[in-house]
């Protein structure tokens, strides 16, 4: 896959939408996550629409809600907007309760498109990898920065692995997510 000016436009759009945001509990610019997710999408065979959605997948949840989704639709088209929408667990501000959102998101994966499954699984893989790296270096204190805490976070990631597997997400991608989540589970005991 090669990228076009649309990808460059999306990269700028993501950088501007998330400019003042950091990864939860860190000093790492949020843009690093978006770049990693888009990179994983490309590595797992995604097309440019999916790679763009990887850059924009958190914009609705964390940078503007339904108005942001409408703007993404206008700027990048229906396919990208549909993937971004499918990767968002809410467009409400304030967000509904954490567990309620996560259960609904897992249920939603049962009828998600292959593109949504790809981008979502890449998002979750990158998140799980960063949690694992922090768990190795800092210990279980890493879970204090997450709304679900240790138990809820581990439950959520295991449920995601199962949902991706059951709903036909890329087998190699799901296997890698499963490997990372299994290591999280072992190190968390």
178 in catalytic set: no
Burial degree of 109 (CB within 10 A; 0-12, 13-18, 19+): buried
Catalytic entry in 62, 71, 91, 162: 62
Q: CA-based angle 182:143:156, to the nearest 5?
A: 50
Nearest to 85 by CA among 110, 119, 51: 119
> Which stretches of the chain are DSSP H helices?
5-17, 31-43, 48-56, 59-62, 65-76, 78-87, 98-108, 114-138, 149-166, 171-187
- The answer to whether 85 and 136 have CB atoms below 8 angstroms apart is no
Catalytic entry in 61, 123, 170, 178: 61
Burial degree of 186 (CB within 10 A; 0-12, 13-18, 19+): exposed
67 in catalytic set: no
- Is residue 29 classed as helix, strand or coil in its secondary structure? strand
Indicate which residues carry an active-site annotation: 61-62
């Amino acid at each position: 896959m090669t990228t076009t000016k649309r990808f460059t436009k999306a990269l700028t759009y993501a950088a501007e939408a998330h400019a003042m945001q950091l990864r939860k509990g860190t000093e790492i610019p949020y843009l690093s996550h978006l770049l990693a997710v888009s990179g994983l999408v490309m590595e797992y065979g995604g097309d440019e629409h999916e790679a763009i959605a990887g850059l924009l997948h958190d914009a609705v949840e964390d940078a503007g809600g339904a108005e942001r989704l409408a703007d993404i639709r206008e700027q990048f088209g229906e396919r990208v907007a549909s993937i971004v929408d499918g990767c968002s667990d809410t467009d409400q501000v304030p967000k509904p309760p954490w567990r309620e959102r996560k259960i609904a998101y897992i249920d939603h994966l049962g009828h998600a498109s292959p593109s949504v499954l790809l981008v979502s699984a890449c998002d979750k893989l990158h998140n799980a990898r960063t949690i694992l790296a922090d768990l190795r270096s800092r210990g279980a204190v890493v879970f204090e920065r997450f709304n679900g805490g240790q138990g809820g976070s581990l439950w959520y990631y295991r449920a995601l692995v199962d949902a991706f597997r059951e709903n036909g997400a890329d087998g190699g991608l799901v296997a890698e997510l499963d490997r990372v989540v299994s290591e999280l589970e072992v190190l968390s005991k």
